[in-house]
């Protein structure tokens, strides 16, 4: 196979005059023994103790990063048409690892996602200041793109031909897209029959070599860890700390959208626990650099059937990972052996956040409620609203506090779930509790193609809506 030529647009830092402001020289630091190295092996683990590495920015300690200058520089870039500034990730490049001079950045103009108010969910929960940061509005439809632009850039810089990941679907879709943009080949390992067709079809279209393995996500990830030691592939799972650096920008962009006034709570779904770790790292760095006056509480919500972190905290106080055999219809977070659990425990402790679990029915209801806002999201994202309701019941979140839910994936990522939900086929007839979801269902109606039939249906809908309103009054 011949090496594909890489695109030359979207040039890197040295072509962009503004990017010459402090560039972050970085190193790798072990989250276990704190040892520091200038480079990392392909497994991104510490050569001393085997724990995960994170990226550290020692140059920040010597000053040079002034909070108010950074804020104006980042705002100014929003009116620039330079490729790096158009990316909602690289716009914050002072807080990211810098690619080598002259090396191109692989970008699809990721980030720049909306922060929505949620009036209906506000009414349901009683939280007046409730927002959704919708990462499903990224180029491939999930939050993964913000990390992938950074990790793919460094993969390409390292000269590798193949990048690889294990995935529940979104990472593979994103990796395949960024590999294609960067002129690299991609190898995808996904659990057979356990990811949505929509995500799988993205990987195929972006040209990945896609292997559906007869195992679950945890089995795919384990195999990948062996593979990177034997084959010349560059791993792009969230074990790769460059991914987490890019995903930090969710928090930077969010705080900028809130005029740097931190919300009281940020609530995020937890699967392999890379995203919560990245958001937590960003909050701690922003606090350290004086960009925000106080830390929001970062809380993580899991599905009951994939609750490894919940159990780890309850049963071992976060000291030892409790793995589970994961099962949930929110397939994106169907993970029982999360790789970044220690990083997640640290950020929960540092920000004072909570960790909760929600049932399948609670997830489906919350997803329908977010859909009714005219926004929509995939099931894994809806755990945030379901989790918020629990945290309110427990008194951990107060109604007068401000809350941001991180919606991680687009509604279109899992059309099977949505169709089955509206047709009443998602839960078995024996699950009587699911009857309470009936008011949220809007199944399609099949009619003869006549005006009368449509008008009659319209009148019926109007009548039942009026009686619903009366019975709710």
Residues that bind ligand F0G (CB under 6 A): 142, 167-171, 238, 269-276, 332-333, 378, 380-381, 408-409
Q: How far apart are CA 388 and CA 353, in angstroms?
A: 12
Give the nearer residue to ligand F0G in terms of CB position, either 182 or 270.
270
Strand spans (E) along 88-172: 115-117, 130-134, 162-166
Give the nearer residue to ligand F0G in terms of CB position, either 84 or 168.
168
Token code pair at residue 13: 């830092």
- For the chain, what's the residue count? 473
Contacts of residue 319, defined as CB under 8 A and 6 or more positions apart, other chains included, come to none
Give the nearer residue to ligand F0G in terms of CB position, either 70 or 363.
363
The sheet that has 265-269: what strands, in order across it?
A: 115-117, 130-134, 403-407, 265-269, 297-303, 355-358
94-105 burial: b if 16+ Cβ within 10 Å, else e: bbbbbbeeebbb
Q: What is the distance, to the nearest Å, from the Cα of residue 298 to the centroid of all Cα atoms in its chain?
A: 14
Give the nearer residue to ligand F0G in terms of CB position, either 24 or 196.
196
Number of Cβ within a 10 Å radius of residue 453 = 13
Q: How far apart are CA 92 and CA 363, in angstroms?
A: 33
At closest approach, how far in Å is the CB of 421 from ligand F0G? Answer: 17
Give the nearer residue to ligand F0G in terms of CB position, either 82 or 223.
223
Question: Where does residue 123 rank: exposed (0-12), middle (13-18), buried (19+ CB within 10 A)?
Answer: exposed
Q: How far apart are CA 276 and CA 16, in angstroms?
A: 31
Token code pair at residue 117: 């108010």
- Residue 70's alpha-carbon distances to 56, 213, 290, in angstroms, are 19, 46, 11
At closest approach, how far in Å is the CB of 122 from ligand F0G? Answer: 23
At closest approach, how far in Å is the CB of 194 from ligand F0G? Answer: 11
Nearest to 440 by CA among 454, 423, 428: 423
Give the nearer residue to ligand F0G in terms of CB position, either 46 or 250.
250
At closest approach, how far in Å is the CB of 473 from ligand F0G? Answer: 37
Give the nearer residue to ligand F0G in terms of CB position, either 276 or 312.
276
Give the nearer residue to ligand F0G in terms of CB position, either 121 or 384.
384
* Structural contact between residues 194 and 168, judged by C-beta atoms closer than 8 angstroms: yes
- Could you give the 3-state DSSP secondary structure of residue 295? coil
Give the nearer residue to ligand F0G in terms of CB position, either 22 or 169.
169
* Structural contact between residues 333 and 366, judged by C-beta atoms closer than 8 angstroms: no
At closest approach, how far in Å is the CB of 240 from ligand F0G? Answer: 12
Specify the pairing of strand 115-117 against strand 130-134: antiparallel
At closest approach, how far in Å is the CB of 167 from ligand F0G? Answer: 3
């Amino acid at each position: 196979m011949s090496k594909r030529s890489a695109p030359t647009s979207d040039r890197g830092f040295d072509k962009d005059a503004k990017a010459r402001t402090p560039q972050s020289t970085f190193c790798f630091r072990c989250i276990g023994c704190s040892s520091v190295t200038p480079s990392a092996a392909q497994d991104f683990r510490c050569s001393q103790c085997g724990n995960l590495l994170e990226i550290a920015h020692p140059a920040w300690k010597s000053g040079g990063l002034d909070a108010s200058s950074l804020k104006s520089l980042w705002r100014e870039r929003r009116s620039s048409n330079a490729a790096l500034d158009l990316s909602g990730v690289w716009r914050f490049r002072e807080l990211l690892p810098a690619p080598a001079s002259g090396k191109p950045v692989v970008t699809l103009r990721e980030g720049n996602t909306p922060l929505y108010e949620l009036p209906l969910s506000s009414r349901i929960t009683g939280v007046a200041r409730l927002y959704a940061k919708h990462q499903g509005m990224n180029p491939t439809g999930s939050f993964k793109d913000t990390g992938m632009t950074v990790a793919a850039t460094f993969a390409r810089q390292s000269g590798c031909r193949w990048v690889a990941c294990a995935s529940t679907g979104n990472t593979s879709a994103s990796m395949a897209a960024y590999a294609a943009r960067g002129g690299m080949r991609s190898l995808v390992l996904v659990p057979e029959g356990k990811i949505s067709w929509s995500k799988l079809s993205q990987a195929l279209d972006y040209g990945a070599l896609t292997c559906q393995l007869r195992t679950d996500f945890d089995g795919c990830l384990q195999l990948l860890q062996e593979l990177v030691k034997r084959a010349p592939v560059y791993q792009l799972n969230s074990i790769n700390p460059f991914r987490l650096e890019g995903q930090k920008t969710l928090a930077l962009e969010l705080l900028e959208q809130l005029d740097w006034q931190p919300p009281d709570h940020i609530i995020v779904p937890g699967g392999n626990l890379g995203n919560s770790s990245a958001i937590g790292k960003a909050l701690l760095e922003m606090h350290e650099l004086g960009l925000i006056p106080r830390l929001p509480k970062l809380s993580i919500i899991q599905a009951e059937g994939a609750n490894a972190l919940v159990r780890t905290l309850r049963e071992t106080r976060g000291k030892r990972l409790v793995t589970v055999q994961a099962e949930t219809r929110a397939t994106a977070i169907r993970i029982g052996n999360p790789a970044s659990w220690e990083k997640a425990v640290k950020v929960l402790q540092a920000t004072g956040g909570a960790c909760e679990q929600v049932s399948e029915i609670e997830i489906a209801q919350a997803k329908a409620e977010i859909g009714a806002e005219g926004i929509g999201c995939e099931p894994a994202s809806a755990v945030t609203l379901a989790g918020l309701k629990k945290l309110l019941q427990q008194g951990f979140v107060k109604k007068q506090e401000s809350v941001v839910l991180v919606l991680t994936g687009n509604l279109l990522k899992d059309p099977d779930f949505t169709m089955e939900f509206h047709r009443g086929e998602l839960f078995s007839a024996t699950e009587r509790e699911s009857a309470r979801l009936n008011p949220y269902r809007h199944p399609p109606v099949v009619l003869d193609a006549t005006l009368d039939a449509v008008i009659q249906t319209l009148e019926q809908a109007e009548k039942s809506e009026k009686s619903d309103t009366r019975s709710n009054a």
